[in-house]
Structure 1
Amino acid sequence: MVERETKSIHTTPGKYVEPGQDYDRDTQYIEDRITTDARDGWPVEAGRYRLIAARACPWANRAIIVRRLLGLEDAISLGTPGPVHDERSWTFDLDPDGVDPVLGIERLQDAYFARFRDYPRGITVPAIVDVPTGAVVTNNFPQITLDFSTQWTQFHRDGAPDLYPEALRSEIDEVAELIYQDVNNGVYRAGFAGSQRSYERAYTTLFSRLDWLEDRLSTQRFLVGDTITEADVRLFTTLVRFDAVYHGHFKCNRNKLSELPALWGYARDLFQTPGFGDTIDFQQIKDHYYQVHRDINPSGIVPLGPDASAWLTEHGREELGGRPFGDGTPPAPPRDGEKVPSIR
Structure 2
Amino acid sequence: MRESAVKTNPGRFFEDYRLGEVISHAVPRTVSGGERALYHALYPARHAIYSSDTFAQSCGLPASPLDDLVAFHTVFGKTVPDISLNAIANLGYAEGRWLQPVYPGDTLRASSTVIGLKENSNGTSGVVYVRTRGINQHDVPVLDYVRWVMVRKGRPDAPAPAPVVPKLAPVVAPQDLVLPKGLDFTRYDFAQAGERHRWGDYAVGEQIDHVDGVTVEEAEHMLATRLWQNTAKVHFDATVREDGRRLIYGGHVISLARALSFNGLANAQMIVALNGGAHANPCFAGDTVRAWSEVLDRVETSAPGVGALRLRLVATRGAAFEMRGADGRYLPEVLLDLDYWVLMPV
TM-score of the superposed pair, with normalisation by structure 1: 0.27
Q: Give the structure with the larger helix fraction.
A: 1
Q: Give the structure with the larger strand fraction.
A: 2
Which structure: larger Rg? 2
